[in-house]
């Protein structure tokens, strides 16, 4: 039985990866410091013999006994609320954490896949974004703690690949949604659905003309799995290229939920990308992958998940303001 270490295992994507690798017959070691993750996402795995969990912060030295075949590094705050509240931890997990896991991969002779992000492109001047685009990132802006952590993560991963001949993979993840997202994590999809379910007006930052492209989680996990097992070491975009404006997306959510609330417009936070859409030509060619779940289907599944939450979870709000991150 092959053994895989998944960091950020109690998070949104990490927990779905644990499920996938368990289904594929791997021995799965989950690791998470639970700073943003929740054991609720993986509690169904604890009784299983081929799953174990380490409560650990990968920014500190990482030790795992026994052999490892693969490491998937998904430990990191991933929403604006998270990385603006805990900026130092965000930088540390992308730098120190990645360094520790690359060292572990080298010691275990394991292949490692690191979770990068479309945020490495910043507020892009190229559209859609291809993997050979270097990006337009403000390193000292409020979002820089996340953007630059991920850019450093890619750089040190490539350094280990070139200098130590380590087997590495880099996935650049675009906006993803589905069950187990935190309703109050600040990302647009759970924010809109949460507001609609609570009967509140939907909040749009900016005029709503900015674009995003949403990939259902099952599609993303399939792309990551194929990339890990591929022979390709350079970054690969994984996302859904079906682009939509935030205003049109808000209208979709209102229609889906049957809510008759209105829309409130607020100023756009500093360095918030105006366009975000992946060019997935590389994934199509190398991995024979493209998304299968259309947005209407994925949103219905996601809505049902959010509706299943307890009243306490649904009404709990994140007391966080973006006001100081708005450029006046």
Catalytically active residues, by annotation:
146
Strands (E), the chain: 3-7, 27-32, 51-55, 70-73, 111-117, 168-173, 176-177, 202-205, 211-213, 215-216, 236-238, 243-245, 263-266
Determine the Cα–Cα distance for residues 66 and 228; give it in Å rounded to an integer: 21
Give exposure, 117-128, as e/b (b: 16+ Cβ within 10 Å): bbbbbbbbeeeb
Output DSSP code: residue 61: -
Distance of alpha carbon 229 from alpha carbon 225, whole angstroms: 7
* 186 vs 201: CA distance, rounded Å: 15
Give the bridge partners for 269, in sequence order: 326
Gap between the terminal Cα atoms of the chain? 56
Cβ–Cβ under 8 Å, residues 157 and 98: yes
Give the rounded distance of the alpha carbon of 256 from its chain centre: 24
How many alpha carbons lie under 13 Å from residue 118 in its C-beta half-sphere? 30
* Strand 211-213 relative to strand 243-245, pairing: antiparallel
CA distances from 135 to 142, 159, 237, 276 (A): 17, 20, 14, 12
């Amino acid at each position: 039985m092959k053994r895989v270490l998944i960091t950020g295992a109690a998070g949104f994507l990490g927990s779905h990866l644990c499920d996938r690798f368990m289904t594929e017959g791997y021995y799965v070691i989950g690791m998470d410091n639970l700073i943003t993750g929740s054991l609720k996402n993986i509690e169904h795995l604890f009784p299983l013999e081929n799953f174990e969990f380490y409560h650990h912060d990968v920014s500190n030295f990482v030790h795992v006994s026994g052999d490892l075949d693969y490491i998937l590094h998904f430990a990191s705050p991933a929403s604006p609320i998270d990385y603006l509240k805990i900026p130092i931890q965000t930088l540390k997990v992308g730098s120190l954490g990645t360094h520790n896991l690359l060292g572990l991969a080298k010691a275990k002779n394991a292949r490692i896949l690191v979770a990068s992000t479309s945020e490495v492109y910043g507020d892009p001047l190229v559209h859609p974004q291809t993997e050979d685009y270097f990006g337009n990132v403000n390193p000292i802006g409020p979002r820089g703690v996340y953007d630059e952590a991920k850019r450093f993560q890619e750089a040190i991963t490539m350094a280990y690949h070139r200098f130590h001949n380590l087997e590495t993979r880099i996935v650049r993840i675009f906006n993803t949604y589905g069950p187990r997202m935190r309703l109050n994590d600040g990302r647009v999809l759970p924010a809109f659905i949460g507001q609609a379910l609570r009967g509140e007006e939907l909040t749009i930052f900016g005029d709503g003309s900015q674009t995003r492209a949403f990939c259902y989680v099952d599609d993303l996990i399939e792309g990551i799995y194929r990339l890990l097992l591929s022979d390709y070491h350079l970054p690969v975009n994984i996302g859904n290229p079906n682009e939509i404006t935030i205003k049109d997306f808000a209208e979709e959510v209102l229609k889906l939920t049957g809510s008759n609330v209105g829309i409130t417009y607020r100023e756009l936070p500093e360095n918030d990308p105006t366009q975000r859409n992946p060019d997935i030509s590389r994934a199509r060619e190398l991995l024979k992958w493209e998304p299968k779940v259309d947005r209407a289907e994925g949103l219905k599944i996601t809505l049902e998940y959010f509706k299943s939450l307890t009243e306490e979870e649904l009404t709990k709000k994140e007391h966080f303001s973006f006001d100081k991150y708005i450029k006046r």
